[in-house]
Amino acid sequence: MIPARHGSERLPGKPLLPIAGKPLIAHTIAAAQACSAIDQVLVATDHEEIKAAAEAWGAEAVMTPSDLPSGSDRIGAALRNRPGDIIVNLQGDEPETDPAHLLRCIEGLREDRQAAVSTLSSPLEEGELMDADCVKVVCDQDQRALYFSRGPLGADREDLRSWLAGNAGPVRSAASRHLGIYAYRRAALDDFLSQPPTALESLERLEQLRLLEHGLIIAVRPVEQAARGVDTEIDLARVRARLMGRTK
């Protein structure tokens, strides 16, 4: 499932923006199509042009209301009365997604039979621990999520004290960067969408905390490098440069 909304605040019409000769959403669709474990690629959108683009590049597309509060709600609306045991949520603005990462996410549910959801993480890069736009995750010894946060999760106490005192040294952390790709067991997704937002979810603005607050297990599988999404004009320029380089 690829939720793709037209009304991005920073990049209106983002799924249709051209990158290396085709719309952004086409690159994301191609990544999903290249994953051997995915049987069907479905785009959930609120805009007829995105629907047409998705269908032109080989995906099925479903129209959903424009006023849905989240991508997960858009997926829920698109899946109504449709079959499927495992649902993969891939954000539409991640054109450089590695198909192997999608497979690794799905494998997380096969490896951990008690997990309701599987997701991915990658090593933190310099500066990301203190970046509120970078979501961090810490895990238990079975590689299950303990918590997700926008704050400096799992930070060394003395390093953090020094940083807060104005020193510029590095802050060591046991956290990893969370990647926003999910594989849900269908029952877990349906249950998640039926529950109202929880307290921690509302504070952190992180939907996955609703799962943890309801006691569900989230398996976290590490990958070496994160694909970067397109949120700003700078992101778009960088992705264009990288993908244009690959097509030459």
Residue 58 banded pLDDT, cuts 50, 70, 90: very high
pLDDT, tens only, 107-163: 999 999 999 999 999 999 999 999 999 999 999 999 999 999 999 999 999 999 999
Q: Quick one: how many helices (H) and strands (E) in the chain?
A: 9, 11
pLDDT at 248 over 70: no
Give pLDDT tens digits for 64-116: 998 888 888 889 999 988 888 999 999 999 999 999 999 999 999 999 999 99
DSSP 36-66: TT----EEEES-HHHHHHHHHTT-EEEE--T
Task: Convert the pLDDT of each residue in 169-219 to its tens digit.
Answer: 899 999 999 999 999 999 999 999 999 999 999 999 999 999 999 999 999
User: Going from the N-terminus, what domains does the chain have, and what CATH number goes with each?
Assistant: 1-97 (3.90.550.10), 98-179+188-226 (3.90.550.10)
pTM above 0.85, yes or no: yes
pLDDT at 247: 58
Residue ranges with strand state E in the chain: 2-4, 18-19, 22-23, 42-45, 60-63, 86-89, 117-122, 136-139, 145-149, 176-185, 218-222
